[in-house]
Amino acid sequence: MVEPTRGIDDVLFNTDILEGILGHLYHPDAVRLLAVCKTLRSKFRSNNIEHRPRLLVIASEANHLCEIDLLSGELGRTWAIRSRARGWKRLKGSSLQYWPTCVATSPDGYIHICQYKGHQVLKFSPSDLSYVSISAQMNSEEKSPEGIAFSKGCMYIASAAAGHIRRFAPNPAGQGYVPMPDYLVAFYDSGRTFGRIGRGLQVPWGMVTGPDGNLYIAMDDEYENGDDALASTSGHVMVGLIGADGQLVSLRPFCGLNELLARPSGVCFDDQGNLYVTCMTSRILQYSGPLSSKPGQLMRVAAQWTEPGEARGEGGNKPWDVRWHRGIAGICAKHEPLLIVTRHAGIWQRCGSNIAIFSAVSGRLLKQLKFGQEHCRYLRQLNMMLID
């Protein structure tokens, strides 16, 4: 006779059943389920069971955070991002009222979003994406955040307008983060700094924490506030070195100086510590990581996405951000790693943004997510993203 509890365990902890359940749950829901039972967590880890991956992407012009199911390609929940700062006035007659740009997950699992037009970082719940609080408040000079990352217990913000990489530490008097006195300014080529360089501006875009705990920033050395990004091919990736206590130490070039990058913007690492960079020539480049024997060396063009006219600089969608994923069954072989790329349409193209999924091994385009007119108001100007 089978002991009743044993029979229940055989059902509850059956690997096939667990895969079926967890394979339909997004990360926050899977975490809550696994938290109730140590045996569940053990089975989850030992059998490499994976939750259902979701993409969280910022739609800047639409002022929305959007949840996209990577398996089905369907748009899920969307949340409007509004200014929460006291005394911050709405810009009348402008579609660029808040312009959220970058998103990152803090060590405690919360989602943090920067607003380009508002001097603040907002905190959202990972489970239902509801607004929680203001994470950080920036002064009027440190506006236009384009990059956010976490390392060594601190938050770091890259400000396009001020040209600073600023550290924010946990607020000892309450919730959120407060600005610290240490910051970095990019000195590039004979002491030139953020600001006017030649005919353009030196502007930081995406920023990510590397496997060594330092910051890696996509830098446009001669930014022109226009759509002919191919006219400027002097971008590269810089590394911001961080001390043991989280203090910013120095900033120096890491890679891309020899490749003539046209507005590098998205940066991410894979599980081997290699770096991927997007630029507006439609290439996704792979560089050896900081822990390798030859850090910053170009390895290959990992993928390329060019549509008619784009190679000649005639506009169209622009590769903007990139994220690496270890593999999603249903899109490719279960353990074939992927590159997910957002494409950033010009402001005049209201529904042109889309998402592509490439094989990180072969560079082959596996899937392209396009969204029609019915989703236009939510998905204008896809920007930075994260996968959980």
Residue 230 pLDDT: 54
Sheet holding 100-105, edge to edge: 100-105, 111-115, 120-124, 131-137
Domain ranges of the chain: 1-52, 53-387
What distance in Å separates the CA atoms of residue 118 and residue 143, rounded to the nearest whole number? 7
Burial letters for 59-93: b for 16+ Cβ neighbours within 10 Å, e otherwise? bbbbbbbbbbebeebebeebbebebeeeeeeeeee
Q: Encode pLDDT of 133-170 as tens digits.
A: 999 988 766 777 889 999 999 999 998 877 779 999 99
Residue 79 pLDDT: 82
Residue ranges of the chain whose pLDDT lies below 50:
1-4, 6, 85-96, 187-200, 311-315, 347-348
Q: Encode pLDDT of 207-262 as tens digits.
A: 999 999 999 999 887 766 555 555 556 789 999 999 999 999 999 999 988 887 88
Nearest in space to 322 (alpha carbons), one of 216, 168, 164: 216
Nearest in space to 346 (alpha carbons), one of 375, 315, 310: 315
Q: Which CATH number fits domain 53-387: 3.90.1170.50, 2.120.10.30, 2.60.120.10, 3.30.365.10?
A: 2.120.10.30
